Amino acid sequence: MNFHFLKFLKIAALISVASFTFVGCGDDEPTKPGNGESSSSVAPPMSSPEATKISPIKINGFGVEQISAERFNVTGNVVIDYTDTTVKNVDSVRIDNIQFNVGLVQGNALGNVGATVEMIAPPTFPTEQVVNFGEAGAKIDISTFEACGDFVVEVIVYSSTPDGKNKYISKESATFSKPAATYCPEPVSSSSVAEILIEMDSYVVTLTTSRTIGDVAIDFETGSVFPASALALNKAVIDAVLVWEGGVGVLKSARIAGLDNYDALAGGNDTKFAEEMKAPSGEEMPAPVYTNAFSYSTPTITALEELSYGLYYVVHTVSYNADTKDGFFVFMVGREERGSNSTSITFTVYKKK
């Protein structure tokens, strides 16, 4: 978490704004930002109640994680701490409601830009049960609002005793970003200097999760593939490995595979992936293909579990250079041949000529 977020979170309790429940929107729609900053300053403010000094509620592991180009999952759970001796009649406490604020960071305040947390399977209140945000399908769809920048997600838990004499409020915060460079790009000026186009070739490879038959690893630069028995010898050039986990094929960076699956790759290449957001799903890119044809966020993913046919992913290897596009690759997931304890997947890989 950067300094900007830390500074904001320290003063979040002082911010004045309007909270909303699982799915809610503000009445005023801010103007769409046209620059790389954190969005328009005209976004109406949001408010949040203060937490009570004592509360029997524990909020565990609250966070936000990006799982696709437009979806962020909310993680964590809410439980009643029946061992809390500071709370009267703690055995009768129940959770009355859970609310979320999702606000755009604007200086030292939060702006309401219509961002919401949606529960696919919301719990029924009041409840004494554990509320798990993952099981409830809590998510944020960033395609539902236009603003870009840094965001704070706040969960607010209301609890009480049945007689209503003891009421409590608990709060926790997490952060995420919607980069303007990716989601709110500036219009291209006709007077701009012409971009240098870098054309790409493609090749097709097949990887398997089997440790005994076929190839499990790839060097994206050369298109070379390697069986499990050759990992140690080729560790320096291996970028990614297909492994069998949870009954599916997972494509991991060599470094992560070295930690979890293959000791021979320990300390291997730290390859990063990102979901591509513009390529035609299920179709190969029509020639000629250039590096600027793809749209994506900065690659940070080290293990791809979603390898469905037709999906595109961007790859940055350790040799990535933003100017020359060395170390820049894109692949489309192709046909899969699944066995009882292994799978083989074909990939169409694009690389600069």
Q: Would you list the domain boundaries of the chain?
A: 3-183, 199-352
Q: What is the pLDDT of residue 29?
A: 42
Asked if 350 and 289 touch (Cβ cutoff 8 Å), the reply is yes
Q: pLDDT digits over 15-52, tens only?
A: 333 333 343 333 344 434 433 344 444 588 888 899 99
Asked if 207 and 302 touch (Cβ cutoff 8 Å), the reply is no
Asked if 171 and 48 touch (Cβ cutoff 8 Å), the reply is yes
Q: What is the pLDDT of residue 14?
A: 39
Q: What is the pLDDT of residue 6?
A: 42
Tokens of 41: 């300053």
Q: What is the pLDDT of residue 25?
A: 36
Q: pLDDT digits over 114-173, tens only?
A: 899 999 999 999 999 999 999 999 999 999 999 999 999 999 999 999 988 899 999 999
| Residues of the chain under the 70 pLDDT cut | 1-42, 188-195
Q: What is the pLDDT of residue 38?
A: 46
In this prediction the pTM is: 0.50
